[in-house]
A and B are shown apart, each in its own frame.
Chain A
């Protein structure tokens, strides 16, 4: 079926239309979660600034993170 299956309140990751290759739900959710919790408007491929109140600003380089994700994706095996 091509119509969007949107019934309950939890529509997370629901593919609404178009050709899709099913993505592992856990990884899709992590991407969306990091998109939000790390910083609004942050570019995931760049440097991310996290506010550490009372302490300082910590700049985190996420290149290592992205490398790990790519490694995981390959290890997890594409179908």
Chain B
């Protein structure tokens, strides 16, 4: 091992009100290093050292565009937050919140102590659930079933005018299906938002990243009291029955990523 200490910066995972969560022992953080507590202003930042060589501004900018690096980093970040969230209320920090040193992290805690405490209070004894809904048929109506009009000319049955008429009819059906699906998304959201303490609508995920062509019509997060898991499950079951043209997916429970924003973070 080198006698020279590698220059490092401080990666922050989350903020809690506990002095030092027990789960930190043996927990592996971003870059494989240990995780520790930085205490200031009655709050604790869960943090760890990462090498400046990989996490300085220029290196970070480069690394964040490397999918393998980003995935490993995001998973390590999330793993630590989940462990801490398993022991009590926590406010997750956005990926790549990096301070020069512990003093920098402590100063940030002190500066935002009031807002951080409020955020912890908002999410205490609550869980975040993700709901994603898709238009189950990418191209309604049933093209798979062979009802799509054939181009004219091959068989005598299809004149050009008949083809166009069928095409027009199909487009109208598609528009109607699209409208119905948007209405479904609104109804699903309204029902689930009614169960939740708070809700957030996120932009749809990229179909490329999601790996399929289904149109995402709802990408929402709901903050529910800890004892409402069953209510959510029941509501989703019921909604799935009412909206057969929509595919609904639940993710979670998550640490309250979507509900941790501090007031100034909402500014554009």
Chain A residues 1-53 with CB under 8 Å of chain B are: 3-4, 6, 9-21, 23-24, 27-45, 50-53
Q: A12-B252, A33-B75, A33-B78 are in contact. Are A19 and B98 (CB under 8 A)?
A: no
- Chain A nearest CB from B185 CB (Å) reads 13
A11 to B61, Cβ gap below 8 A? no
Query: Size of chain B's interface in residues, with CB distance under 8 A?
Result: 64
A-side interface size class: 35 or more
B113 is an interface residue with CB less than 8 A from chain A: no
List the 7 closest pairs (A to B, CB-CB), nearest first. Answer: A18-B247, A17-B240, A18-B136, A36-B257, A68-B67, A37-B95, A6-B233
B interface with A by C-beta (< 8 Å): 12, 57, 60-61, 64-67, 70-71, 74-75, 77-78, 92, 94-100, 104-105, 108, 130, 132, 134, 136-137, 200, 202-203, 205-206, 208-212, 219, 229, 233, 236-237, 240-241, 243-254, 257-258, 260-261, 265
- Chain A nearest CB from B207 CB (Å) reads 9
Q: A15-B249, A50-B96, A53-B98 are in contact. Are A35 and B219 (CB under 8 A)?
A: yes
A54 to B57, Cβ gap below 8 A? no
